[in-house]
Amino acid sequence: MDILKINNLFASYGDKEVLKDLSMNIKKNKITAIIGPSGCGKSTLLTALNLMIEENGGNFAGEILFKDKDILSYEKNDIRRMIGIVFQKPTPFPFSIYKNLTYAPIYYGTKDKKELNNIVKATLKEAGLFHEINEDLNMLATKLSGGQQQRLCIARALTVKPEVLLLDEPCSALDIKNTQNIEEMLLKFSQDYTIIIVTHNLAQAKRISDYTAFILDGELIEYEETEEMFTNPKDRRTKEYIEGIYG
């Protein structure tokens, strides 16, 4: 089943057109990787999907359907709750770990202390952080290591129970061990969430994704099952990129 349908999407920042006539459908509970050289519009595509593009001063034309309904017909904040995003640079709030994870649930009306504790525990376990931090929930989130901060941000995105999780090069600032942690975590998540991950790292796309989309200069060049894409690319440009000809 397709949870997201993107039809003829154009996106731009001011005069600069970043995405040109992009159409693709995203399968539910699968991991879709988006690859392409820097500045090709990968991140813009992600930010369009949960309307964060507006906060960054961009806009888009075309149609994005979430569960067969135009995302613009939802409340902006509802869309962002259902389609969560994790950015490239870890952005923990400079509060305690506990406060990072209760921030959004409290906003959505969860007041019961016990329920909040459960959310914190559950999401920390999902992100594989619970034991690492020795259950010290009052620790300042900014004191965590880079990898832990990023996993905390993923946990924070999970606290509002999203259906789709967008990840914008979540591992680009992390070492191998932390990258591995996050990859394992994402593989586990795909049972419950639809994941779209933008990555520079082709090996990563190959390791974890079910589908891969290749974008070049704002255009979707090829969108295939990952296996097929990497063994038998149909487009010359995809082949060249995979073989390392473009940056």
Partner 1 sequence: MSEKTKDFIFKTWIIISTVIVFTVVIYIFGYIFKNGIGSINLEFIFSDPKGMPIGSEGGVFPAIVGSLFLMLIACIFASILAISTSIYTVFYCRSKRIESIIHLIVQSMAGIPSIVLGLFGYTLLVLHLRLGRSLLSGGITLGIMIFPYIEVRVEKTLREVDKAIIGSSYALGVSKAHTISKLILPLCKADIISAITMAGGFAMGASAPIILTAAVIFAPIPKSLFAPVMALPFHLYILTGEGISLEKAYGTALVLIMILLIINITSVVLNMKRRDDR
The distance of closest approach from Cβ of residue 164 to partner 1 in the complex, given in angstroms and rounded to an integer, is: 12
Query: 7 in helix, strand or coil?
Result: strand
CB-based contacts of 71: which residues, under 8 Å, 6+ apart? 49, 51, 64, 65, 79
> 74 vs 130, which CB is nearer to partner 1?
74
> 26 vs 85, which CB is nearer to partner 1?
85
The distance of closest approach from Cβ of residue 49 to partner 1 in the complex, given in angstroms and rounded to an integer, is: 11
- State how far the alpha carbon of 236 is from the alpha carbons of 40, 97, 224, 239, in Å: 17, 47, 14, 5
Structure tokens at 236: 């010359």
> 81 vs 151, which CB is nearer to partner 1?
81
> 150 vs 212, which CB is nearer to partner 1?
150
Which spans of this chain sit near partner 1 (rule: CB under 8 A)?
Answer: 50, 52, 55-56, 76-81, 84-85, 87, 89, 91, 93-95, 103-104, 107-108, 153, 156-157, 159-160
The distance of closest approach from Cβ of residue 24 to partner 1 in the complex, given in angstroms and rounded to an integer, is: 22
The distance of closest approach from Cβ of residue 123 to partner 1 in the complex, given in angstroms and rounded to an integer, is: 12
> 163 vs 235, which CB is nearer to partner 1?
163
Task: Tell me the C-alpha distance between 77 and 113, whole Å.
Answer: 24
Task: Say if residue 161 is exposed, middle or buried (CB neighbours under 10 Å; 0-12, 13-18, 19+).
Answer: middle
The distance of closest approach from Cβ of residue 118 to partner 1 in the complex, given in angstroms and rounded to an integer, is: 18
- CA 190 remoteness from chain centre: 12
Nearest 5°: the CA angle 96, 99, 101 is 115
DSSP 112: -
The distance of closest approach from Cβ of residue 182 to partner 1 in the complex, given in angstroms and rounded to an integer, is: 17
Cβ proximity of 20 and 10 under 8 Å:
yes
> 27 vs 161, which CB is nearer to partner 1?
161
